Structure 1
Amino acid sequence: MRHMPTILRQVRRSSRQAGLFVLCVALSLSTLTAFSGFSRSVGRALLNDARSLHAADIVIRSYDPISAALSRAIDRLADQGRVERVDVHEFYTVVRAADESASVLSSLKVVQPGYPFYGRVTLKSDRPFGQVLAPGTCIVEQTLLDRTVLRVGGRLKVGYAVLTIADVVVAEPDRPLDLFAFGPRVFLHSADLDALGLMATGSRIQRVVLLKVPDPVQVESIAARLKQAAPEGGERIDTYLTARSAVKRFLDSLLFFLKLVGLFILIVSGLGIQSTLMALFNEKQPTIAVMKTVGAGSRFITVHFMLMVFVLGAAGTAAGILAGAAVQAGLAWMMAPLLPGRLGLSISWGGVAEALMLGFAVVVLFSFLPLYRLRQMRPVAIFNRRPSAGIRRWPYYLSGVLILLFFLALVLWHMRDIRFGLYFAGAVAAMILVAALLAQVLLGAVKRLPVRHLALRQAIKGLFRQGNASRAIMITLTVSLTVIFGDYLIERNLTATFVQSFPADAPNAFFVDIQPGQTGAFAAAIGGPVTFYPIVRARITAVNDQAIDRRREGKKRRDNLSRVFNLTYRETLLDDETLVDGDALFRSDWTGPQVSVMDTVVAMREMKIGDRIRFKIQGVPLTARISSIRTRDNRSLSPFFYFVFPEAVLAQAPQTLFAALRVDAGGLGPLQTRIVARFPNISVIDMSQTITVFARLMARLSRIVRVFSSFSILAGILILVSAVFATRAERVMEAVYYKILGAGRRFVLTVFALENLMLGMLSSLLALAMAQAGAYWVCAFKFDIGYRPFPMVSLAMIGLTVLLTVTVGLVASRSIMTQKPVSYLRNQQNE
């Protein structure tokens, strides 16, 4: 421990640079630690509440009637007293006031007595749910009462039944969030299900069987037994531990992207760690030179400063863990509307342990190069205080490779998806490389500019001052701002395309669950031409005789083949469709069933013309050959289908129809009430309201991502402040010489302000160029929408960046600008 007193003394004398290093280490850990801890806390909380989130031990879901074989297996278990059963039906429909004065698209939940097995449905009256919900009654959300101007005790028409509103639901255990709910909840008693008249063949109704297992030990074995009884490709059977609730699916996806942000901040902050440490060692260069002059070897000096780095790194790691706890609390506050109200957060000791290991690895990797540079410092530095030259030999490249491998390992560890992890790591590495190359080119161009203005010429010279880290500052700010600018530009383009510029001819009302026998009467009620789209619901069970692994498919983070698909039939392409493979929708030289598939399906799994897909339509198998592959204009809001069959193949299959119409906004409500009064089974979806809900959610999530992405800007700011501190002697000397030669404080202020202005301007211009290119690529090739550059918004983002860098640079240089020439020259004479 003989080094420790000296280390503490040196840290005190370089407290500002040491503090910046600690802040960079803390910044690199805080967000990723927060996201990991938050993820663990959420996972633990959801696991503890898993039974309540699913209201049962075993959950069986299907959009088709429960198969006879599975029903018999459940009945046998119930007869043996091994399970208790409750059936639930969930679907959307339009409910109306009894006097037909108002109508609202609502989410119906028809339950049997005994629901829920776990958790509690909270009512406004605080009465027991099972005692309030009786045949002939319903329980509704407050939103429905507000929109229909009804109250408890009023009469509500649901389908063909008229029910009495018995109470108001406040919360239910297996629906903790209303993120994607497009209508208020309405609870009904199962005894009223037939009276509703809404259970027509082909209607989109989710059938859920909830099972309670009195003996918890038997949950897994009973679930396995039921899976064996269920037909292949039929019902989905999960236990409360394996089922993924809607809230868990949403939070998993959100935390996945937040972890990407955390990893990005870590790598950018790592650049700050390296830069501030180099600045700290440059400041210690005279001390190191003296130590070597009196006989200290390179090994002694390296060990000494390595211990200093570890001491500061430990402080930074501790600060990062504490900051991570604060960031976690802030994240919980920002996401409060997106989280279940009862979700509690706690310290994740696993996250703390991960942070400690991560902190050690970050300090070691990003300190390697600055520590190695200590070997290059010579005793002559006592007289020549210029920073030593940079390293361009094998240690430089080894450091880069190790950092890249470390980053890749972190990505793969957190992503658990090798392909996506490689894409992400490659994208970040490419962005940093492009930013570095462009920064080098731009700085070189600026250096060669023939500038006559004295203050500007001196500011440009200041950019290339030894130890100024202009290139590192530009790279860090450029990469950080690229992500923030790009995210904002993409959000603005999506909002402008789908919300603010709703196409004048696009349908804004979808009428669903129309029965085949109602088409004539429905068209007459509309009073104009109507195009009907048939819907046949089916699952894919195999492609080219290879069975679909639904569980494996369901784990994919994108659309997949495990879900239920809507099939249709027609003989022609729609106006917004084109063929990308094949000469016609269907082949005239083939016999047997054919199907045209959307290119989106090919992205889920490789397919080509001639491949065979096996479907199951309400238990009936159907194998069809792919006759063509279509694409569509994603900017269109017209209906589309992944799978299109010839009419002869599906015309006799169980089906419903829907129609898409353009209706004046003011006339949609009355039309909905009039149509549903005549056809209670038909539901009306207001697309403009649906888009508004998604836009509101998208904006909230985008703000969360931008807030945490802005943390990476702090790394650039810290490097900027570190560069000011590291070059303090040179800056003081410049300021004194300016004043000796007759310049006033205003001139010195102008030079330093212009220097920081150019850093901010160059960084923001590079970032904006990269962000515009990236946002254009995403909008044009991923979302297939027109792109708008938003020049005024872009200028505002540049202005804010320049203002930030100038302000920070001048605040950090405040003591330099007040330096008196007399005191400076006196100190120089004393030295």
Structure 2
Amino acid sequence: MVNTKFLLRQMAGAKRQCAVFVLCVALSMITLVSLGSFRESVESSLLRDAQSLHAADIIIKSHAPIPQGLEREVALLTDRREIRNARFWEFYSVVQKPAADASLLCNIKVVEPGYPFYGAVRLASGRPFAKVLTPGSLVVEKVLLDRLRLQIGDPLRIGNAVLTIKDVVLQEPDRPVNFFALGPRVFVAAADRDRLALIGKGSRVEHVTLVQILDPPKLEKVASELSAAAGSDGRVRVETYKNAGSRVKRFFDNLLFFLNLSGIFTLLLSGFGIQSTLFALLKEQERTIAVMKALGARSRFIIGHFLGLTLILGFVGTVAGLGGSLALQRYLPVLFSGLIPAQVTLQVSPAAIVQGMAIGLLVVLLFTFLPLYRLKEVKPRAIFGKEEAVTLWNSSTWIIASLGALFFLFMVLIRLRDLKTGLYFMLSLVSLILISYLLAALTLRFLKRSRPRNLALRQALKGLFRPHNASLSIMVTLSAAFAVIFAINLVEKNLDATFIDSFPPGAPNVFFIDIQPDQRDPFAHMVGPGAAFYPIVKGNVTAVNDAPIDPTRERKSRGDNLAREMNLTYREYLLPDERIESGSTLFRKDWTEPQVSVLDTVVKMHEMKVGDRVSFRIQGLPITARVSSVRTRTSSGFSPFFYFVFPDSVLSQAPQTFFAAVKVDKAGISALQNRVVAAFPNVSVIDLTETVTVFGRIMQRLSSIVRFFTSFSVAAGVLIIISSVFATRYARIQEAVYFTILGARRGFVLKVFAAENLVIGLVSGVIALLISQLGSLIICRKGLDMPYQPYFRDSLLLLLGTTMLVLIVGLAVALPILYQKPVAFLREQSDE
């Protein structure tokens, strides 16, 4: 039976260690419950409002008018009063003031009456959307009014039509979050569609038919009938609101994936902090434990008492963590501002609390098992201060480490829900810790042999190897935590440099899309020399080596996939930023069958090599081509590239549009855009300088979110530093007293402790920097296909910052030791 008074005395005598233990548990709980609640809030909202997110029960999408068979089936079901349907067409186009003195690329949505079936389009005036969007009218986002300096009631030219702005849209159900839109939303009534003259053959338009089921139990039956009518044409997707993937869901799936990685890493570090703190607490109680054993207490009795102590502290930490999670919920809406759908209410989820408490309890038990188990090794002679030789890696340690690895693999699978990704993450995590361990161990071996002339530094190096020191574990933990944070910063810097900060000299910065074949020559005359034209033919990949592409499986990919409609092109040459990676030439002259060159990005999506056969459906016609070469890009950024390139002879006669890229002085972009829109209303202009600004804003917000949650890892590292100081507190006090007795001043002792923490911080930072540089290099070149810069200046600043952090924290915790009275310490020793 656990003695409550005994436990209270132990906690009163080790207040600092107990506080750090509680903070480690609280930190893990905050991470678990906050991320778990965030995921539950988003997923429950998306599930609850799934119909609103898609504005319908069934969604039919295509980049071309839907097949006649499917059109007939929709009409038949509508006539039988089984469904209601409403169509909309979504595309980008440049809108213009009638005076032709200002223009802007916008996201146009032409909608039929009845849209949306679920949810509502909220307008600034509060009026019903259906009554405002009538023929001849427009509903726009406020940013359009601000940028073009327009007001409600002003006219606006879209294509060949001049329409009147009637209201401002605040929210639409199937576009809850504007993650990366190239322009503001503009609603147009379907009655004005033909007047625009923007939707034609080869236009880059998404055709969407929304279907409402009048008898809900027939949802799956109707969906099956429509899918059958659509046939096997990969261009048409028929999905229900239950299985359709939305942009917001894909975004949060990916964001939560990376945040969960950070959360698991923080949980691991918190576990190390719990273990280190308990070792420190039990070390201070070693003589008490020895006395208890001398009086006949068994190891099981003692372990039970201290297990009770850890459970009490774990409970206090859990309560503190839950309180912290509640407080954090108030900050999360600010952190995720602009990224959270309006219908998502962030709150602490009961399920996340239960799961967090269960996982937190397992973490406490797992990381306290080894310190508690080693109480068996404390002998009664420890009463006299005899040090016991302890083997760090014995059979029990290996068993506990194996159980820990299995536990974290289980955690990864629960959080990431992907076995392959989980195994890769565990392998990366083990590699990170192993590399940190080897480098730290080698550095400590070197430092142990070094004999610096400076006395304070020499004593500081000796302090790294004092009895029960935690120098190695501190360095490994800090190195791993800092390496992750350094890598995030370095990858972000490289992303900014590649996509945001600048364009390579001479690279195009304005793109023109949907140029019709008969417009190419007059368009080229207007923009002048230097415009590069690329033909675009729409098509779908249907099979690789006669193995059909599974659209459902492909769309589960976190990145791009082969299930979507592709932009194909034809040419007989490589672009300036391309080179052949596999194969001798772009196309083989000794092959008579159709050929295709693929970008290496495609090979990452689906395994294929030179000589393989890839089947396409192009404008409804099947074509099978043989892979003649694999290309790679030598630069990244917003420059044109194509996954599939055919010879001229294969695609030159296919229905097509042209894409043009031009280098324009920033000051002249607006004037050129106005001239192009006036002469060619169907041509959309993409100003990459504006696109880069939008992309940069999103990147900064996402980086802030990732850095915020990664900072919990740093907090865990700081707690480990504090716990390590407590673990060696007795030895540090002893050193300080002996220095004082030998005539050293307090300033000298301070220098010794400062030098010790400086070495720990510097070594940890250097190791972290080396690992992060290697990791960032691999991520940028292999994962993101972009060049890598080491950013030595920024890296040195990160190194300096982390070193100072370790120095300040270490000194702050060790400072009370300097004021220990030698007389009091010696009297305590003589009493013992």
- Supply the distance in 2 between the matched residues of 1:251 and 1:428 (Cα, whole angstroms): 23
CA deviation string 1:769-821 (max 9, x = no partner):
21122222333444444433323322222222122222212221232111222
In 2, Cα distance between the equivalents of 1:355 and 1:288?
A: 33
> 2:461 is aligned with what amino acid?
I
Give the whole-Å Cα distance in 1 for the aligned partners of 2:708 and 2:277: 24
Task: Tell me the residue number matched to 1:470.
Answer: 471
Match of 2:632 in 1: 631
Instruction: Provide the residue aligned with 2:805 in structure 1.
Output: 804
Partner of 1:455: 456
1:55 paired residue number: 55
Q: Which moved more, 1:750-759 or 1:20-29?
A: 20-29
Residues 334-483 of structure 1 aligned to structure 2 (within 5 Å): 334-384=335-385, 386=387, 389-483=390-484
Deviations 1:670-721 (A, max 9, x none): 0010011001011110112212222221122122112211211222221221
Structure 2 CA distance for aligned equivalents of residues 322 and 618 of structure 1: 59
TM-score if structure 1 supplies the norm length? 0.97
Give the structure 2 partner of residue 169 of structure 1.
169
Contact 2:86 2:115 in 1 (8 A): yes
The residue type equivalent to 2:691 in the other structure is: T
2:33 and 2:348 in contact (8 A); partners too: no
CA contact (8 A) 1:387 1:467 kept: no
The letter of the residue matching 1:520 is D
- The letter of the residue matching 2:657 is T
Name the CA shift for 1:90/1:636 in 2 (closer, same or farther; >3 Å).
closer
1: distance between equivalents of 2:52 and 2:419? Answer: 34
Instruction: Sort the Cα spacing of 1:803 and 1:108 in 2 relative to 1 into closer, same or farther, 3 A.
Output: same
Residue identity opposite 2:71 in structure 1: S
- Partner residue of 1:23? 23
**TM-aligned CA deviation for residue 535 of structure 1:** 0.4
Q: Supply the distance in 2 between the matched residues of 1:465 and 1:697 (Cα, whole angstroms).
A: 49
Post-superposition offset of 1:253: 0.8
Specify the code of the residue in structure 2 equivalent to 1:212.
Answer: Q
How far apart, CA to CA, are the structure 1 residues paired with 2:621 and 2:786?
39
Residue equivalent to 1:491: 492
* Map of 1:73 onto structure 2: 73
User: Structure 1 residue 83: deviation in Å?
Assistant: 0.9
**How far did residue 723 of structure 1 move?**
2.1
The separation in 2 between residues aligned to 1:252 and 1:780, in whole angstroms, is 24
Where do residues 174-189 of structure 1 align in structure 2 (5 Å cutoff)? 174-189=174-189
The structural deviation recorded for 1:632 is 1.7
Kindly provide the CA deviation profile for residues 125-167 of structure 1, in whole angstroms up to 9, marking residues without a partner as x: 2211111111111111111112222211111111111111111
RMSD: 1.7
Question: In structure 1, what is the equivalent of residue 141 of structure 2?
Answer: 141
Q: What residue number does 2:703 align with?
A: 702
- 2: distance between equivalents of 1:292 and 1:118? 72
Residue identity opposite 2:506 in structure 1: D
Q: CA deviation at 1:388?
A: 5.5
Correspondence for 1:752: 753
Contact 1:568 1:641 in 2 (8 A): yes
Could you say which residue in structure 2 is the equivalent of 1:126?
Answer: 126
Q: Which amino acid aligns with 2:392?
A: I
Q: Greater shift after overlay, 592-601 or 301-310? A: 301-310
Q: Cα distance, 1:390 vs. partner?
A: 4.1
1:7 aligns with 2:15: no
CA-CA distance at 1:108 after TM superposition? 0.2
- Residues 321 and 355 of structure 1 are in contact (CA less than 8 Å); yes or no, is this contact kept in structure 2? no
- Equivalent residues of 1:480, 1:713 under 8 A apart: yes
The letter for the 2-side match of 1:81 is R
Check 1:263–1:17 CA distance in 2 against 1; reply closer, same or farther (3 A cut). Answer: same
Moved more, 355-364 or 154-163: 355-364
- Offset from partner CA, 1:412-439 (integer Å, 9 cap, x none): 2222222221111101110001101111
Mapping 1:545-556, distance limit 5 Å:
545-556=546-557
Cα distance in 2, alignment partners of residues 651 and 253 from structure 1: 39
CA distance in 2, matches of 1:517, 1:415: 51
1:6 Cα offset (Å) = 2.0
Moved more, 73-82 or 312-321: 312-321
CA pair 662-2 structure 1, distance change in 2 beyond 3 A:
closer
Find the aligned partners of 1:180 and 1:2 in 2 and give their Cα distance: 59
Structure 1 residue 279 displacement after superposition: 1.3
Partner Cα separation in structure 2 for residue 770 and residue 736 of structure 1: 39
Whole-Å Cα distance in 2 between the matches of residues 224 and 18 of structure 1?
62
Paired AA for residue 517 in structure 1? D
Give the whole-Å Cα distance in 2 for the aligned partners of 1:267 and 1:723.
Answer: 17
**1:19/1:385 Cα in 2 relative to 1: closer, same or farther (>3 Å)?**
farther
SS in structure 2 opposite 1:88? strand
Note closer, same or farther for the CA distance 1:653–1:138 as it changes in structure 2 (3 Å cut). Answer: same
Q: How far apart, CA to CA, are the structure 1 residues paired with 2:585 and 2:62?
A: 35
Offset at residue 103 of structure 1 (A) = 0.5
Letter in 2 for 1:57: D
For residues 74-116 of structure 1, the C-alpha deviation after alignment (integer angstroms, 9 at most, x for no partner) is 1121111111111000000001001101010000000011111
Shift of 1:359: 1.5
Q: Structure 1 residues 633-642 or 549-558, which shifts more?
A: 633-642
Residue by residue over 1:278-307, the C-alpha shift from the partner in whole angstroms, topping out at 9 and shown as x without a partner, is: 111111111110111001122222222223
In the other structure, the counterpart of 2:159 is 159
Residue identity in the other structure for 2:543: A
Task: Say if 2:133 is the partner of 1:100.
Answer: no
> Does 151-160 or 218-227 show the bigger shift?
218-227
- For 1:496, the aligned partner's letter is A
State the alpha-carbon separation in 2 of the partners of residues 105 and 394 from structure 1.
Answer: 67
Partner amino acid for 2:160?
Answer: Y
Separation in 1 of the partners of 2:388 and 2:708?
A: 36
Q: Secondary structure at the match of 2:5?
A: helix
Cα deviation, residue 563, structure 1 = 0.9
CA contact (8 A) 1:476 1:713 kept: no
Residue matched to 1:200: 200
TM-score by length of 2: 0.97
Gap runs ≥5 in structure 2: none
8 Å Cα contact 1:58/1:211 also seen in 2: yes
Given that residues 469 and 719 in structure 1 are in contact (C-alpha distance below 8 angstroms), is that contact kept between their aligned partners in structure 2?
no
CA contact (8 A) 2:279 2:727 kept: no
CA contact (8 A) 1:467 1:723 kept: no
Secondary structure in structure 2 of the residue aligned to 1:170: strand
1:283-332 per-residue CA deviation (whole Å, 9 max, x = no partner) reads: 11111101110011222222222232222223333333333343444333
Instruction: Single out whichever of 86-95 and 230-239 deviates more from structure 2.
Output: 230-239
Q: What CA distance in whole angstroms lies between the structure 1 residues aligned with 2:236 and 2:290? A: 75
State the number of aligned residues: 831
In structure 2, distance between residues paired with 1:569 and 1:788: 34
Q: For residue 813 of structure 1, give the secondary structure of its aligned residue in structure 2.
A: helix
Which segment drifts farther, 429-438 or 3-12?
Answer: 3-12
State the match for 1:824 in structure 2. 825
Equivalent residue number for residue 237 of structure 1: 238
Which amino acid is 1:53 matched to? L
Mapping 1:322-337, distance limit 5 Å: 322-337=323-338
Moved more, 366-375 or 490-499: 490-499
Which residue number in structure 1 is paired with residue 651 of structure 2?
Answer: 650
8 Å contact kept, 1:313–1:363: yes
Residue number in structure 1 paired with 2:46: 46
Question: Pairwise mapping of residues 651-690 of structure 1 onto structure 2 (< 5 A)?
Answer: 651-690=652-691
State the distance in 2 between where 1:353 and 1:642 align.
47
Q: Matched residue of 2:338: which SS? A: helix
Which deviates the most, 125-134 or 295-304?
295-304
For the 8 Å contact 1:540–1:616, the answer to whether it is kept is yes
Evaluate the alpha carbon distance shift between residue 2 and residue 522 of structure 1 in structure 2; reply closer, same or farther with a 3 A threshold: closer
Shift of residue 170 of structure 1?
Answer: 1.7
Q: Partner residue of 2:738?
A: 737
> 1-10 or 476-485: which moved more?
1-10
Counterpart of 2:636 in structure 1: which amino acid? Answer: R
**Counterpart AA for 2:825:** Y
